[in-house]
Amino acid sequence: MNIWGKVLAFLIILLGGGAFVLTTQLLDYRQSWMKQVEANRKALTDAKKATIEKSQELKRLQADYDRLMLGWDTYINNATASGDPAQGTLNLTVGPPLLNEGKDKDGKPVQPVIYAFQPGANGKYEYVGEFRAERIAAGNSSFKANWRMRPSDGAMWKVGPNWRVRTRIPISDKLKFDQMSLAFADADERFTNSTNELARSRDEFAKKIKLALANRENELQGFEAYEGDRGKLEDELIDGVLATLVREEEARNTALAQADALRHELDSTVKKFEKLKSINAKAANELRGNAAPTTAKVSPK
């Protein structure tokens, strides 16, 4: 083999080694690229799946939102409220075109009803209640509470800015408020009845106590009304227990004094008797000593 054949053989070997190295790198690159393609394909599939799920969730939430907002209708924010909460009157800076006087089936004018919300904590709103319009004017309308006001209701109103006014609320929410109002009314009615019954019982009890006290005083001091029946009724009932006790005590004291006097008289009489007895015994002895003796001598006692 000449020199060029050797050179050519060497070049072939050299090129073959290079081709082997390049082929190996190309296979590694192709394998890495296929992994990346597969990862991208999976990510794309996951993204499409997530997009479909998010789209379905968005539709569901939109339907829930539409269903929720369907019962709320039109509303106005940043209304300013004033009035007299204690009387249930409310003035709001609202008017046409949101509010307009309507007509009933007979053509009579009907004032609209609104639902007021006052600003609460953390940017939320608190439901105040249902109000019926009494006067509608541009930017200044007056309303009256359309439920039975309780003393504590008006005290919770926060008159001022940032009120929200709605022309309709969901029936379920309105029903809850109406049921609560009825429950409060029933509780107030029962409380009033209980208070009246307590007052009646207290008055009746006071009358009984007063009557019992008067009877007791009459028992102690006597019944003047029975004075005409003296002799028919006991003196104790007419004169009273106290006068009777005083009279009986005086009679007892008189009897005790008389008894004491009689005891002293008896004692004096006994002493006189004993003295006379002693004198008589002495005289008898003296008479026995001076008398003539008989057949038998009797010794003196």
pLDDT digits 0-9 by tens, 214-232: 777 766 666 666 666 666 6
- Alpha-carbon distance of 28 to 20, in angstroms, equals 12
Q: Would you state the pLDDT for residue 245?
A: 74
| Long-range contacts of residues 91-96, Cβ cutoff 8 Å, at least 24 apart | 91/140, 91/141, 91/142, 91/143, 92/116, 92/140, 92/141, 92/143, 92/163, 92/165, 93/139, 93/140, 94/139, 94/141, 94/165, 95/136, 95/137, 95/138, 95/139, 95/140, 95/141, 96/136, 96/138
- Alpha-carbon distance of 131 to 154, in angstroms, equals 13
Rounded to 5 degrees, what are φ and ψ at 106? -95, 5
Q: Which CATH number fits domain 75-169: 3.30.1330.40, 2.40.30.230, 1.10.490.10, 3.30.70.1250?
A: 2.40.30.230
C-alpha torsion angle, residues 194, 199, 201, 206 (rounded to 10): 160
Per residue of the chain (301 residues), what is the pLDDT tens digit? 567 666 666 667 766 666 666 777 777 777 787 888 888 888 888 888 888 888 888 888 888 777 766 667 778 888 999 999 888 999 999 888 777 777 777 778 788 888 999 998 888 899 898 999 998 888 889 999 988 888 788 888 999 999 999 888 887 777 887 888 788 788 888 888 888 988 888 888 888 888 777 777 766 666 666 666 666 666 666 667 677 777 778 878 888 888 888 888 888 888 888 888 888 888 888 887 766 555 544 444 4
Q: Would you state the pLDDT for residue 71?
A: 66
Handedness of CA 222, 223, 226, 227 (dihedral sign): positive
- Alpha-carbon distance of 62 to 65, in angstroms, equals 5
- Alpha-carbon distance of 120 to 156, in angstroms, equals 11
pTM of the model: 0.49
Mean pLDDT, all residues of the chain = 80
Contacting residues for 87 by C-beta, under 8 A, at least 6 apart: 154
Would you list the domain boundaries of the chain?
75-169
